[in-house]
């Protein structure tokens, strides 16, 4: 991964927290579904805060609230395991070359018990040694969705043999959500925060 998603100054500079509009409070709250299946990240002052990404989103809090309602499901309400969610997100970040997305989700992958060797395997792709058949198919599905907007029949057969219909839907929507975020980070020039720079490699 590269160190930033941008070339030159940000196209849309992030707002510092002191300048966030009042509507941003509701936009942030929308990220937390009322009945989550998965835990929220721990409150730890040493964890990356994602202020450049949030500062970008603060520019358009109405849009952010709508997207956060969706992304809150992808993160915390999904029928996929946290491990499988993070495999998908990190592969999207790799394929799209989104350093910001990668760095943020290396942290979340660590929360899910995904170690450095597995993270390197995600970056290498579905043909890397060591995957079990289902996770290999998940990683391959990301590549196929990003390239063709369709999971190939052979990949689908493996996934459908292991996942139920809601999980299959969550898989596709997770890839779509993080493909969209990669587009936003790269198009708007979101720079890595200082607390993310050592995680972007």
HEC string for 71-124: HHHHHHHCCCCHHHHHHHHHHHHHHHCCHHHHHHHHHHHHHCCCCHHHHHHHHH
Q: Write down the pTM of the prediction.
A: 0.94
The CATH number given to 79-201 is 1.20.1290.10
- Residue limits of CATH 1.20.1290.10 in the chain: 79-201
Q: Which tokens go with 29?
A: 């709250």
Helical packing angle, 99-111 and 165-188, nearest 10°: 140
Is residue 2 predicted with pLDDT exceeding 60? no
What is residue 163's DSSP assignment? S
- In percent, the amount of the chain with pLDDT more than 70 equals 95
CA angle 129, 131, 132 (to 5 degrees): 140
The pLDDT of residue 197 is 78
Residue 169 pLDDT level (bands cut at 50, 70, 90): very high
Mean pLDDT on 90-100: 97
Q: Which tokens go with 2?
A: 């590269």
Q: What is the CB-side half-sphere exposure of residue 117 using CA atoms within 13 A? A: 3
Q: Which tokens go with 101?
A: 């997305």
- In percent, the amount of the chain with pLDDT more than 90 equals 87
Cα distance between residue 2 and residue 86, in whole Å: 19
Is residue 8 predicted with pLDDT exceeding 80? no
């Amino acid at each position: 991964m590269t160190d930033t998603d941008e070339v030159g100054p940000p196209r849309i500079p992030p707002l510092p927290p002191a300048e966030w509009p009042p509507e941003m409070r509701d936009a942030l709250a929308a990220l937390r579904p009322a009945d989550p299946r998965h835990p929220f990240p721990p409150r730890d002052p040493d964890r990356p805060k994602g202020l450049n990404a949030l500062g970008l989103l603060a520019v358009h809090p109405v849009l952010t609230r709508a997207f956060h309602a969706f992304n809150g499901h992808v993160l915390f309400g999904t029928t996929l395991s946290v491990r499988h969610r993070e495999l998908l997100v990190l592969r999207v970040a790799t394929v799209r070359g989104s350093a910001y997305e990668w760095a943020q989700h290396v942290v979340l992958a660590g929360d899910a018990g995904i170690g450095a060797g597995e993270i390197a395997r995600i970056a290498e792709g579905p043909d890397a040694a060591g995957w079990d058949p289902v996770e290999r198919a998940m990683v391959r599905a990301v590549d196929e969705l990003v390239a063709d907007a369709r999971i190939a029949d052979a990949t689908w057969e493996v996934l459908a043999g292991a996942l139920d219909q809601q999980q299959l839907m969550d898989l596709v929507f997770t890839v779509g959500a993080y493909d969209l975020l990669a587009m936003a980070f790269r198009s708007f020039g979101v720079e890595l925060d200082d607390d993310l720079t050592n995680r972007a490699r």
